[in-house]
Amino acid sequence: MKSDAVKTGMQQAPHRSLFNALGLTEEELHKPLVGIVSSYNEIVPGHMNLDKIVEAVKLGVAMAGGTPIVFPAIAVCDGIAMGHIGMKYSLVTRDLIADSTECMALAHQFDALVMVPNCDKNVPGLLMAAARVNVPTVFVSGGPMLAGRVKGQKRSLSSMFEAVGSYAAGTMTEEDVKEFENKTCPTCGSCSGMYTANSMNCLTEALGMGLKGNGTIPAVYSERLKLAKHAGMKVMEMYEKNIRPRDIMTSEAFLNALTVDMALGCSTNSMLHLPAVAHEAGVELDMELVNEMSARTPNLCHLAPAGPTYMEDLNEAGGVYAVMNELSKKGLLHLDCMTVTGASVGENIQNCVNRDPQVIRPVEDPYSQTGGIAVLKGNLAPDTAVVKRSAVAPEMLKHEGPARVFDCEEDAIAAIKGGRIAAGDVVVIRYEGPKGGPGMREMLNPTSAIAGMGLGSTVALITDGRFSGASRGASIGHVSPEAAVGGPIALVEEGDIISIDIDSHALNVLVSDEELEARRAKWQPRTPQITSGYLSRYAALVTSGNRGAVLELPKRG
Protein backbone atom coordinates (compact mmCIF):
# COMPACT_ATOMS: atom_id res chain seq x y z
CA MET A 1 0.00 0.00 0.00
CA LYS A 2 1.14 3.53 -0.79
CA SER A 3 0.07 4.54 2.73
CA ASP A 4 2.64 2.15 4.23
CA ALA A 5 5.03 5.09 3.88
CA VAL A 6 3.20 6.78 6.75
CA LYS A 7 2.01 3.85 8.85
CA THR A 8 4.25 0.75 8.63
CA GLY A 9 7.62 0.05 10.29
CA MET A 10 9.52 1.37 13.30
CA GLN A 11 10.45 4.59 11.49
CA GLN A 12 6.73 5.34 11.19
CA ALA A 13 6.02 5.05 14.93
CA PRO A 14 5.75 8.88 15.21
CA HIS A 15 3.31 8.90 12.30
CA ARG A 16 1.20 6.23 13.99
CA SER A 17 1.12 8.28 17.18
CA LEU A 18 -0.52 11.07 15.18
CA PHE A 19 -3.02 8.63 13.68
CA ASN A 20 -3.76 7.60 17.30
CA ALA A 21 -4.51 11.26 17.98
CA LEU A 22 -7.12 11.06 15.22
CA GLY A 23 -8.77 8.13 16.97
CA LEU A 24 -7.89 5.62 14.25
CA THR A 25 -7.64 2.00 15.38
CA GLU A 26 -5.01 -0.55 14.38
CA GLU A 27 -7.68 -2.28 12.33
CA GLU A 28 -8.29 0.92 10.36
CA LEU A 29 -4.59 1.45 9.78
CA HIS A 30 -4.27 -2.04 8.32
CA LYS A 31 -6.69 -1.01 5.56
CA PRO A 32 -6.08 1.28 2.56
CA LEU A 33 -6.42 4.97 3.42
CA VAL A 34 -8.96 6.60 1.12
CA GLY A 35 -9.02 10.39 0.91
CA ILE A 36 -12.50 11.87 0.48
CA VAL A 37 -12.08 15.33 -1.05
CA SER A 38 -15.06 17.34 0.13
CA SER A 39 -16.02 20.60 -1.57
CA TYR A 40 -18.69 21.26 1.06
CA ASN A 41 -19.33 24.82 2.19
CA GLU A 42 -22.26 27.00 3.25
CA ILE A 43 -21.99 29.72 0.57
CA VAL A 44 -22.46 27.71 -2.66
CA PRO A 45 -25.98 26.27 -3.25
CA GLY A 46 -24.42 23.44 -5.25
CA HIS A 47 -22.26 22.49 -2.27
CA MET A 48 -24.52 22.88 0.74
CA ASN A 49 -25.61 19.22 0.49
CA LEU A 50 -22.13 17.76 0.03
CA ASP A 51 -21.78 16.92 3.73
CA LYS A 52 -24.48 14.29 3.22
CA ILE A 53 -22.85 13.03 0.02
CA VAL A 54 -19.51 12.74 1.84
CA GLU A 55 -21.05 10.75 4.69
CA ALA A 56 -22.56 8.36 2.14
CA VAL A 57 -19.20 7.98 0.39
CA LYS A 58 -17.53 7.22 3.74
CA LEU A 59 -20.06 4.47 4.38
CA GLY A 60 -19.41 2.98 0.96
CA VAL A 61 -15.64 3.00 1.44
CA ALA A 62 -15.90 1.43 4.91
CA MET A 63 -18.34 -1.24 3.70
CA ALA A 64 -15.88 -2.20 0.96
CA GLY A 65 -12.88 -2.48 3.29
CA GLY A 66 -11.22 0.95 3.22
CA THR A 67 -10.57 3.63 5.81
CA PRO A 68 -12.16 6.91 4.68
CA ILE A 69 -10.57 10.21 5.72
CA VAL A 70 -12.06 13.57 4.67
CA PHE A 71 -10.18 16.70 3.66
CA PRO A 72 -11.53 19.88 2.02
CA ALA A 73 -11.43 21.74 -1.27
CA ILE A 74 -12.57 25.34 -1.73
CA ALA A 75 -15.40 26.46 -4.02
CA VAL A 76 -16.66 29.78 -5.41
CA CYS A 77 -20.29 30.32 -6.42
CA ASP A 78 -20.08 31.86 -9.88
CA GLY A 79 -23.59 33.30 -9.59
CA ILE A 80 -22.77 35.19 -6.40
CA ALA A 81 -19.36 36.21 -7.79
CA MET A 82 -20.88 37.46 -11.06
CA GLY A 83 -20.61 41.06 -12.22
CA HIS A 84 -18.02 42.41 -9.77
CA ILE A 85 -14.39 41.82 -8.76
CA GLY A 86 -15.38 38.46 -7.28
CA MET A 87 -15.62 36.93 -10.77
CA LYS A 88 -11.88 37.47 -11.17
CA TYR A 89 -11.52 34.86 -8.42
CA SER A 90 -13.57 32.13 -10.12
CA LEU A 91 -11.50 30.48 -12.86
CA VAL A 92 -8.32 30.96 -10.84
CA THR A 93 -9.63 28.62 -8.14
CA ARG A 94 -9.46 25.70 -10.55
CA ASP A 95 -5.68 25.66 -10.13
CA LEU A 96 -5.82 26.31 -6.38
CA ILE A 97 -8.12 23.31 -6.04
CA ALA A 98 -5.83 21.12 -8.13
CA ASP A 99 -2.71 22.28 -6.31
CA SER A 100 -4.12 21.95 -2.78
CA THR A 101 -5.59 18.50 -3.48
CA GLU A 102 -2.27 17.31 -4.91
CA CYS A 103 -0.54 18.63 -1.77
CA MET A 104 -2.92 16.89 0.62
CA ALA A 105 -3.02 13.60 -1.27
CA LEU A 106 0.74 13.25 -1.62
CA ALA A 107 1.69 14.68 1.77
CA HIS A 108 -0.44 12.04 3.48
CA GLN A 109 0.14 9.21 1.00
CA PHE A 110 -3.47 8.22 0.38
CA ASP A 111 -3.99 4.91 -1.40
CA ALA A 112 -7.09 6.09 -3.28
CA LEU A 113 -9.36 9.12 -3.56
CA VAL A 114 -13.03 9.91 -3.97
CA MET A 115 -13.62 13.40 -5.33
CA VAL A 116 -16.84 15.14 -4.23
CA PRO A 117 -17.20 18.34 -6.28
CA ASN A 118 -20.23 19.97 -7.86
CA CYS A 119 -19.73 23.42 -9.30
CA ASP A 120 -17.85 25.01 -12.15
CA LYS A 121 -14.16 24.96 -11.12
CA ASN A 122 -14.24 22.12 -8.61
CA VAL A 123 -14.96 19.43 -11.16
CA PRO A 124 -12.10 20.30 -13.56
CA GLY A 125 -9.80 21.24 -10.68
CA LEU A 126 -10.28 17.84 -9.06
CA LEU A 127 -9.98 16.07 -12.42
CA MET A 128 -6.63 17.83 -12.86
CA ALA A 129 -5.56 16.70 -9.40
CA ALA A 130 -6.69 13.13 -10.11
CA ALA A 131 -4.50 13.03 -13.21
CA ARG A 132 -1.50 14.40 -11.28
CA VAL A 133 -1.77 12.18 -8.21
CA ASN A 134 -2.80 9.12 -10.27
CA VAL A 135 -4.06 6.84 -7.52
CA PRO A 136 -7.39 4.98 -7.98
CA THR A 137 -10.06 7.70 -8.00
CA VAL A 138 -13.84 7.93 -8.44
CA PHE A 139 -15.94 11.11 -8.79
CA VAL A 140 -19.39 11.68 -7.35
CA SER A 141 -20.92 15.14 -7.60
CA GLY A 142 -23.60 16.82 -5.51
CA GLY A 143 -26.08 16.84 -8.40
CA PRO A 144 -28.15 19.46 -10.20
CA MET A 145 -30.81 21.75 -8.76
CA LEU A 146 -34.43 21.19 -9.72
CA ALA A 147 -35.79 23.80 -12.13
CA GLY A 148 -37.86 26.61 -10.66
CA ARG A 149 -41.39 27.36 -11.82
CA VAL A 150 -42.62 30.86 -12.55
CA LYS A 151 -46.16 31.40 -13.90
CA GLY A 152 -46.39 27.74 -14.87
CA GLN A 153 -43.09 27.60 -16.76
CA LYS A 154 -39.83 25.94 -15.76
CA ARG A 155 -37.11 28.51 -15.09
CA SER A 156 -33.47 28.64 -14.00
CA LEU A 157 -30.72 31.09 -13.07
CA SER A 158 -30.30 32.38 -16.63
CA SER A 159 -33.98 33.44 -16.54
CA MET A 160 -33.22 35.37 -13.36
CA PHE A 161 -30.37 37.34 -14.90
CA GLU A 162 -32.47 38.05 -18.00
CA ALA A 163 -35.33 39.27 -15.80
CA VAL A 164 -33.03 42.01 -14.51
CA GLY A 165 -32.37 43.05 -18.12
CA SER A 166 -36.11 43.06 -18.83
CA TYR A 167 -36.65 45.31 -15.80
CA ALA A 168 -34.03 47.73 -17.16
CA ALA A 169 -35.87 47.71 -20.50
CA GLY A 170 -39.15 48.50 -18.77
CA THR A 171 -40.82 45.25 -19.85
CA MET A 172 -40.94 43.70 -16.38
CA THR A 173 -42.07 45.15 -13.06
CA GLU A 174 -40.22 45.00 -9.76
CA GLU A 175 -42.88 42.56 -8.54
CA ASP A 176 -42.23 40.32 -11.54
CA VAL A 177 -38.49 40.31 -10.80
CA LYS A 178 -39.23 39.48 -7.16
CA GLU A 179 -41.23 36.44 -8.22
CA PHE A 180 -38.32 35.22 -10.35
CA GLU A 181 -35.98 35.93 -7.44
CA ASN A 182 -38.01 33.75 -5.10
CA LYS A 183 -38.72 30.86 -7.47
CA THR A 184 -35.90 30.29 -10.00
CA CYS A 185 -33.51 28.50 -7.61
CA PRO A 186 -35.80 26.32 -5.47
CA THR A 187 -33.41 23.66 -4.13
CA CYS A 188 -29.77 22.97 -3.41
CA GLY A 189 -27.65 21.73 -6.29
CA SER A 190 -25.78 23.05 -9.31
CA CYS A 191 -28.01 25.42 -11.31
CA SER A 192 -30.55 23.48 -13.30
CA GLY A 193 -29.59 24.09 -16.96
CA MET A 194 -26.70 22.78 -19.04
CA TYR A 195 -24.42 25.36 -17.49
CA THR A 196 -20.74 24.79 -16.73
CA ALA A 197 -21.13 22.76 -13.53
CA ASN A 198 -23.60 20.32 -15.04
CA SER A 199 -21.61 20.23 -18.29
CA MET A 200 -18.48 19.14 -16.45
CA ASN A 201 -20.30 16.62 -14.26
CA CYS A 202 -21.84 15.07 -17.39
CA LEU A 203 -18.47 15.05 -19.14
CA THR A 204 -16.97 13.30 -16.10
CA GLU A 205 -19.31 10.41 -16.95
CA ALA A 206 -18.27 10.59 -20.61
CA LEU A 207 -14.59 10.54 -19.62
CA GLY A 208 -15.22 7.43 -17.56
CA MET A 209 -14.39 9.01 -14.17
CA GLY A 210 -17.94 9.09 -12.74
CA LEU A 211 -20.66 6.48 -12.34
CA LYS A 212 -23.91 6.47 -14.30
CA GLY A 213 -26.11 9.38 -13.20
CA ASN A 214 -23.26 11.43 -11.77
CA GLY A 215 -24.15 14.37 -14.00
CA THR A 216 -27.94 14.20 -13.92
CA ILE A 217 -29.47 12.71 -10.73
CA PRO A 218 -30.95 15.77 -8.94
CA ALA A 219 -29.28 16.87 -5.72
CA VAL A 220 -32.44 16.40 -3.68
CA TYR A 221 -33.07 12.80 -4.78
CA SER A 222 -32.16 10.05 -2.31
CA GLU A 223 -30.89 8.14 -5.33
CA ARG A 224 -27.84 10.43 -5.19
CA LEU A 225 -26.99 9.18 -1.69
CA LYS A 226 -27.09 5.63 -3.06
CA LEU A 227 -24.82 6.74 -5.92
CA ALA A 228 -22.37 8.18 -3.38
CA LYS A 229 -22.29 4.90 -1.45
CA HIS A 230 -21.61 3.02 -4.66
CA ALA A 231 -18.81 5.47 -5.51
CA GLY A 232 -17.19 4.66 -2.16
CA MET A 233 -17.49 0.93 -2.86
CA LYS A 234 -16.28 1.31 -6.42
CA VAL A 235 -13.07 3.11 -5.46
CA MET A 236 -12.08 0.07 -3.43
CA GLU A 237 -12.65 -2.10 -6.49
CA MET A 238 -10.46 0.31 -8.48
CA TYR A 239 -7.84 -0.02 -5.76
CA GLU A 240 -7.92 -3.83 -5.87
CA LYS A 241 -7.60 -3.80 -9.68
CA ASN A 242 -5.05 -0.94 -9.61
CA ILE A 243 -7.04 1.04 -12.20
CA ARG A 244 -5.83 4.64 -12.11
CA PRO A 245 -7.01 7.93 -13.64
CA ARG A 246 -4.41 7.90 -16.39
CA ASP A 247 -5.59 4.41 -17.39
CA ILE A 248 -9.05 5.94 -17.89
CA MET A 249 -8.31 9.49 -19.09
CA THR A 250 -6.64 8.51 -22.36
CA SER A 251 -6.63 10.43 -25.63
CA GLU A 252 -9.58 8.32 -26.81
CA ALA A 253 -11.50 9.13 -23.61
CA PHE A 254 -11.06 12.85 -24.25
CA LEU A 255 -12.33 12.38 -27.80
CA ASN A 256 -15.39 10.67 -26.30
CA ALA A 257 -15.86 13.63 -23.95
CA LEU A 258 -15.62 16.10 -26.84
CA THR A 259 -18.18 14.10 -28.80
CA VAL A 260 -20.63 14.01 -25.89
CA ASP A 261 -19.96 17.73 -25.35
CA MET A 262 -21.13 18.42 -28.91
CA ALA A 263 -24.22 16.23 -28.57
CA LEU A 264 -25.30 17.73 -25.24
CA GLY A 265 -24.59 21.35 -26.19
CA CYS A 266 -22.36 21.95 -23.18
CA SER A 267 -21.03 25.23 -21.84
CA THR A 268 -18.18 26.88 -23.77
CA ASN A 269 -16.19 26.67 -20.53
CA SER A 270 -15.68 23.00 -21.38
CA MET A 271 -13.30 24.31 -24.05
CA LEU A 272 -11.14 25.69 -21.22
CA HIS A 273 -11.46 22.76 -18.86
CA LEU A 274 -11.11 19.71 -21.11
CA PRO A 275 -7.74 20.89 -22.53
CA ALA A 276 -6.53 21.72 -19.01
CA VAL A 277 -7.48 18.27 -17.64
CA ALA A 278 -6.00 16.59 -20.71
CA HIS A 279 -2.77 18.53 -20.21
CA GLU A 280 -2.45 17.12 -16.68
CA ALA A 281 -3.12 13.62 -18.01
CA GLY A 282 -0.33 13.97 -20.57
CA VAL A 283 -2.74 14.34 -23.49
CA GLU A 284 -2.58 17.37 -25.76
CA LEU A 285 -6.10 18.32 -26.85
CA ASP A 286 -5.75 20.57 -29.88
CA MET A 287 -8.58 23.10 -30.27
CA GLU A 288 -8.41 22.51 -34.01
CA LEU A 289 -10.10 19.15 -33.30
CA VAL A 290 -13.29 20.81 -32.14
CA ASN A 291 -14.72 21.73 -35.53
CA GLU A 292 -13.72 18.35 -36.93
CA MET A 293 -15.57 16.63 -34.08
CA SER A 294 -18.52 18.99 -34.43
CA ALA A 295 -18.82 18.34 -38.16
CA ARG A 296 -19.58 14.67 -37.56
CA THR A 297 -21.45 14.88 -34.23
CA PRO A 298 -25.18 15.67 -34.20
CA ASN A 299 -26.55 17.98 -31.52
CA LEU A 300 -29.15 15.90 -29.66
CA CYS A 301 -30.08 18.10 -26.68
CA HIS A 302 -31.31 21.66 -26.21
CA LEU A 303 -31.20 22.07 -22.46
CA ALA A 304 -31.50 25.52 -20.88
CA PRO A 305 -30.37 28.09 -21.85
CA ALA A 306 -30.54 26.71 -25.43
CA GLY A 307 -34.02 25.27 -24.98
CA PRO A 308 -36.90 24.56 -22.56
CA THR A 309 -35.58 21.34 -20.96
CA TYR A 310 -33.55 20.96 -17.78
CA MET A 311 -31.22 18.51 -16.06
CA GLU A 312 -34.09 16.73 -14.32
CA ASP A 313 -35.59 16.08 -17.77
CA LEU A 314 -32.30 14.70 -19.09
CA ASN A 315 -32.12 12.41 -16.07
CA GLU A 316 -35.63 11.06 -16.69
CA ALA A 317 -34.80 10.56 -20.38
CA GLY A 318 -31.91 8.26 -19.54
CA GLY A 319 -29.07 10.65 -18.78
CA VAL A 320 -25.61 10.84 -20.29
CA TYR A 321 -25.40 7.11 -21.00
CA ALA A 322 -28.58 7.29 -23.12
CA VAL A 323 -27.02 10.15 -25.13
CA MET A 324 -23.87 8.06 -25.54
CA ASN A 325 -25.91 5.08 -26.67
CA GLU A 326 -27.52 7.23 -29.37
CA LEU A 327 -24.07 8.40 -30.50
CA SER A 328 -22.79 4.83 -30.61
CA LYS A 329 -25.38 4.03 -33.30
CA LYS A 330 -23.32 6.16 -35.68
CA GLY A 331 -20.00 4.75 -34.48
CA LEU A 332 -18.98 8.06 -32.93
CA LEU A 333 -17.50 6.77 -29.66
CA HIS A 334 -14.45 4.74 -28.64
CA LEU A 335 -16.35 1.95 -26.91
CA ASP A 336 -13.37 0.05 -25.56
CA CYS A 337 -12.22 2.82 -23.17
CA MET A 338 -11.92 1.77 -19.53
CA THR A 339 -14.12 3.46 -16.89
CA VAL A 340 -14.43 3.58 -13.11
CA THR A 341 -17.20 1.00 -13.32
CA GLY A 342 -14.49 -1.53 -14.12
CA ALA A 343 -16.21 -2.08 -17.48
CA SER A 344 -15.73 -0.43 -20.85
CA VAL A 345 -17.79 2.43 -22.26
CA GLY A 346 -19.52 0.01 -24.63
CA GLU A 347 -20.48 -2.34 -21.80
CA ASN A 348 -21.76 0.58 -19.69
CA ILE A 349 -24.11 2.03 -22.29
CA GLN A 350 -25.39 -1.00 -24.19
CA ASN A 351 -28.75 -1.22 -22.40
CA CYS A 352 -29.28 2.51 -21.78
CA VAL A 353 -32.26 3.49 -23.90
CA ASN A 354 -33.54 6.94 -24.76
CA ARG A 355 -36.81 7.25 -22.82
CA ASP A 356 -37.82 10.68 -24.13
CA PRO A 357 -37.02 11.66 -27.74
CA GLN A 358 -38.24 15.18 -27.00
CA VAL A 359 -35.35 15.66 -24.55
CA ILE A 360 -32.72 13.49 -26.25
CA ARG A 361 -33.33 13.60 -29.97
CA PRO A 362 -32.74 10.27 -31.75
CA VAL A 363 -29.48 10.32 -33.66
CA GLU A 364 -31.48 10.06 -36.90
CA ASP A 365 -33.43 13.23 -36.06
CA PRO A 366 -31.06 15.67 -34.29
CA TYR A 367 -31.54 19.37 -33.64
CA SER A 368 -28.67 19.83 -36.08
CA GLN A 369 -26.21 17.58 -37.88
CA THR A 370 -23.34 19.48 -36.28
CA GLY A 371 -22.33 19.79 -32.64
CA GLY A 372 -23.24 22.43 -30.08
CA ILE A 373 -19.87 24.24 -29.98
CA ALA A 374 -17.88 25.87 -32.77
CA VAL A 375 -14.35 27.26 -32.86
CA LEU A 376 -13.86 30.40 -34.95
CA LYS A 377 -10.71 31.88 -36.46
CA GLY A 378 -9.82 34.97 -38.47
CA ASN A 379 -7.92 38.22 -38.21
CA LEU A 380 -9.77 39.05 -34.97
CA ALA A 381 -8.91 35.65 -33.46
CA PRO A 382 -5.77 34.31 -35.18
CA ASP A 383 -5.52 31.47 -32.65
CA THR A 384 -9.16 30.69 -31.86
CA ALA A 385 -12.44 31.89 -30.36
CA VAL A 386 -15.35 29.77 -29.09
CA VAL A 387 -19.14 30.01 -29.41
CA LYS A 388 -22.01 27.82 -28.18
CA ARG A 389 -23.57 27.43 -31.62
CA SER A 390 -26.62 25.55 -30.31
CA ALA A 391 -27.67 28.61 -28.26
CA VAL A 392 -27.37 31.11 -31.15
CA ALA A 393 -30.50 32.34 -32.94
CA PRO A 394 -30.43 31.14 -36.58
CA GLU A 395 -30.46 34.71 -37.89
CA MET A 396 -27.26 35.48 -35.94
CA LEU A 397 -25.17 32.61 -37.32
CA LYS A 398 -24.01 35.10 -39.93
CA HIS A 399 -23.80 38.76 -38.93
CA GLU A 400 -21.98 41.98 -39.71
CA GLY A 401 -22.20 45.06 -37.55
CA PRO A 402 -20.34 48.01 -36.07
CA ALA A 403 -18.07 47.40 -33.09
CA ARG A 404 -19.02 49.00 -29.79
CA VAL A 405 -15.76 48.75 -27.86
CA PHE A 406 -15.35 48.53 -24.07
CA ASP A 407 -12.22 47.86 -22.03
CA CYS A 408 -14.07 46.20 -19.14
CA GLU A 409 -17.34 44.46 -18.38
CA GLU A 410 -18.73 47.24 -16.18
CA ASP A 411 -18.57 49.85 -18.97
CA ALA A 412 -20.36 47.49 -21.37
CA ILE A 413 -23.17 46.77 -18.88
CA ALA A 414 -23.70 50.49 -18.30
CA ALA A 415 -24.01 51.06 -22.05
CA ILE A 416 -26.41 48.13 -22.56
CA LYS A 417 -28.68 49.05 -19.66
CA GLY A 418 -28.43 52.72 -20.60
CA GLY A 419 -29.98 51.98 -23.99
CA ARG A 420 -26.84 52.92 -25.91
CA ILE A 421 -26.59 49.58 -27.79
CA ALA A 422 -28.70 49.25 -30.92
CA ALA A 423 -29.87 46.31 -33.00
CA GLY A 424 -27.07 45.15 -35.29
CA ASP A 425 -24.24 46.24 -33.00
CA VAL A 426 -21.33 43.99 -32.04
CA VAL A 427 -20.33 44.58 -28.42
CA VAL A 428 -16.59 44.03 -27.89
CA ILE A 429 -15.39 43.57 -24.29
CA ARG A 430 -11.62 43.25 -24.01
CA TYR A 431 -8.87 43.16 -21.38
CA GLU A 432 -10.94 40.49 -19.60
CA GLY A 433 -8.78 37.52 -20.66
CA PRO A 434 -6.77 35.23 -18.38
CA LYS A 435 -3.92 37.75 -18.05
CA GLY A 436 -5.83 40.95 -18.73
CA GLY A 437 -8.67 40.47 -16.26
CA PRO A 438 -6.85 38.88 -14.64
CA GLY A 439 -8.94 35.76 -14.24
CA MET A 440 -11.06 35.70 -17.42
CA ARG A 441 -14.39 36.80 -15.99
CA GLU A 442 -17.67 35.34 -17.22
CA MET A 443 -19.89 37.77 -19.13
CA LEU A 444 -23.31 36.52 -17.98
CA ASN A 445 -24.44 39.99 -16.88
CA PRO A 446 -23.93 41.63 -20.29
CA THR A 447 -25.35 38.69 -22.28
CA SER A 448 -28.38 38.54 -19.98
CA ALA A 449 -28.83 42.30 -20.23
CA ILE A 450 -28.75 42.06 -24.04
CA ALA A 451 -31.36 39.30 -23.97
CA GLY A 452 -33.47 41.10 -21.38
CA MET A 453 -33.42 44.30 -23.45
CA GLY A 454 -34.89 42.36 -26.38
CA LEU A 455 -31.66 42.42 -28.41
CA GLY A 456 -30.71 38.74 -28.14
CA SER A 457 -31.38 37.99 -31.80
CA THR A 458 -29.81 41.18 -33.20
CA VAL A 459 -26.70 41.97 -31.10
CA ALA A 460 -23.50 39.91 -30.84
CA LEU A 461 -20.96 40.00 -28.02
CA ILE A 462 -17.26 39.24 -28.49
CA THR A 463 -14.73 39.02 -25.67
CA ASP A 464 -11.34 37.68 -24.67
CA GLY A 465 -13.10 36.77 -21.45
CA ARG A 466 -15.50 33.87 -21.21
CA PHE A 467 -19.18 33.13 -20.78
CA SER A 468 -21.27 31.39 -18.20
CA GLY A 469 -22.96 28.25 -19.40
CA ALA A 470 -26.13 30.24 -18.70
CA SER A 471 -25.30 32.69 -21.50
CA ARG A 472 -27.13 32.39 -24.80
CA GLY A 473 -27.09 34.24 -28.10
CA ALA A 474 -24.19 35.14 -30.39
CA SER A 475 -21.75 35.17 -27.48
CA ILE A 476 -18.21 34.60 -28.75
CA GLY A 477 -15.52 34.21 -26.11
CA HIS A 478 -11.97 33.03 -25.44
CA VAL A 479 -10.69 35.31 -28.24
CA SER A 480 -7.01 34.45 -28.52
CA PRO A 481 -4.53 36.05 -28.39
CA GLU A 482 -6.13 38.26 -25.76
CA ALA A 483 -5.90 42.06 -25.65
CA ALA A 484 -3.45 42.13 -22.75
CA VAL A 485 -0.74 40.50 -24.88
CA GLY A 486 -1.48 42.59 -27.97
CA GLY A 487 -3.98 40.33 -29.71
CA PRO A 488 -5.93 41.93 -32.57
CA ILE A 489 -8.95 42.43 -30.29
CA ALA A 490 -6.87 45.19 -28.65
CA LEU A 491 -6.69 47.01 -32.01
CA VAL A 492 -10.42 47.19 -32.75
CA GLU A 493 -11.82 50.72 -32.83
CA GLU A 494 -15.34 52.02 -32.31
CA GLY A 495 -17.37 51.61 -35.49
CA ASP A 496 -15.14 49.00 -37.18
CA ILE A 497 -17.30 46.47 -39.00
CA ILE A 498 -17.01 42.99 -37.53
CA SER A 499 -17.99 39.96 -39.59
CA ILE A 500 -19.21 36.77 -37.89
CA ASP A 501 -19.84 33.59 -39.88
CA ILE A 502 -20.33 30.73 -37.44
CA ASP A 503 -21.10 28.09 -40.06
CA SER A 504 -17.84 28.98 -41.84
CA HIS A 505 -15.98 29.25 -38.49
CA ALA A 506 -14.86 32.80 -39.31
CA LEU A 507 -14.41 35.90 -37.12
CA ASN A 508 -12.93 39.00 -38.75
CA VAL A 509 -12.72 42.74 -38.37
CA LEU A 510 -13.11 44.34 -41.81
CA VAL A 511 -9.97 46.44 -41.60
CA SER A 512 -6.95 46.08 -43.90
CA ASP A 513 -3.80 44.35 -42.73
CA GLU A 514 -1.92 47.61 -43.27
CA GLU A 515 -4.30 49.53 -41.01
CA LEU A 516 -4.07 46.87 -38.29
CA GLU A 517 -0.27 47.03 -38.43
CA ALA A 518 -0.38 50.82 -38.17
CA ARG A 519 -2.59 50.53 -35.09
CA ARG A 520 -0.29 47.87 -33.62
CA ALA A 521 2.70 50.20 -33.94
CA LYS A 522 0.89 52.74 -31.73
CA TRP A 523 -0.59 50.23 -29.26
CA GLN A 524 0.58 50.37 -25.64
CA PRO A 525 -0.07 47.56 -23.13
CA ARG A 526 -2.76 48.43 -20.64
CA THR A 527 -1.53 49.09 -17.11
CA PRO A 528 -2.22 45.98 -14.98
CA GLN A 529 -5.34 46.51 -12.86
CA ILE A 530 -4.14 44.25 -10.02
CA THR A 531 -0.50 44.15 -8.98
CA SER A 532 -0.46 42.14 -5.73
CA GLY A 533 -1.84 38.96 -4.23
CA TYR A 534 -2.83 35.70 -5.89
CA LEU A 535 -4.29 37.32 -9.01
CA SER A 536 -1.00 39.00 -9.87
CA ARG A 537 0.85 35.70 -9.53
CA TYR A 538 -1.84 34.00 -11.63
CA ALA A 539 -1.52 36.65 -14.37
CA ALA A 540 2.23 36.07 -14.51
CA LEU A 541 1.85 32.31 -15.05
CA VAL A 542 -1.40 31.82 -17.00
CA THR A 543 -1.41 30.93 -20.70
CA SER A 544 -3.94 31.81 -23.38
CA GLY A 545 -7.58 30.75 -23.34
CA ASN A 546 -7.04 28.58 -26.43
CA ARG A 547 -4.62 26.48 -24.37
CA GLY A 548 -7.09 26.01 -21.53
CA ALA A 549 -5.64 28.88 -19.46
CA VAL A 550 -3.23 26.44 -17.85
CA LEU A 551 -0.42 27.75 -15.66
CA GLU A 552 3.10 27.57 -17.00
CA LEU A 553 6.41 28.73 -15.58
CA PRO A 554 8.06 31.53 -17.59
CA LYS A 555 10.74 30.29 -19.97
CA ARG A 556 14.29 30.97 -18.82
CA GLY A 557 16.87 32.79 -20.82
| β partners of residue 475 | 461
Angle at 150 between CA 46 and CA 166, to 5 degrees: 95
Side-chain-side CA neighbours of 488 within 13 Å: the count stands at 25
Q: Identify whether the C-beta of residue 444 lies closer than 8 Å to the C-beta of residue 432.
A: no
> Strands across the sheet with 112-116, in order?
67-72, 33-38, 112-116, 137-139
For 33, 140, 415, 458, the CA distances from 425, given in Å and listed in that order, are: 58, 43, 12, 8
Closest CA to 546 of 361, 274, 258, 197: 274
Cβ atoms of 144 and 219 closer than 8 Å: yes
- Report the C-alpha gap between 73 and 54 in whole angstroms: 12
Out of 90, 468, 475, 480, the active site residue is 468
| Strand duo 381-387 + 374-378: pairing | antiparallel
Are 535 and 435 in contact by the 8 Å Cβ rule? The answer is: no
**Rounded distance between C-alpha atoms, residue 175 and residue 173, angstroms:** 5
Helices 444-452 & 409-417, crossing angle to 10 degrees?
10
For residue 442, give the nearest of 191, 218, 242 by alpha carbon.
191
**How far is residue 431's CA from residue 285's CA, in Å, rounded to a whole number?**
26
Q: How far apart are CA 391 and CA 133, in angstroms?
A: 37
Spell out the SS3 assignment of 123-135: HHHHHHHHHHHCC
Beta strands 112-116 and 497-501, pairing class = unpaired
Q: Any catalytic annotation for residue 468?
A: yes
Torsion angle (degrees, nearest 10) of CA 301, 361, 348, 204: 0
Rounded Cα–Cα distance for residues 62 and 99 (Å):
27
Q: Name the residue among 492, 505, 292, 531 with its Cα closest to residue 387.
A: 505
Of 261, 249, 268, 250, the C-alpha closest to 327 is 261
Q: What are the residue ranges of helices labelled H in 108-156?
A: 122-133
Which residues are designated catalytic?
A: 468
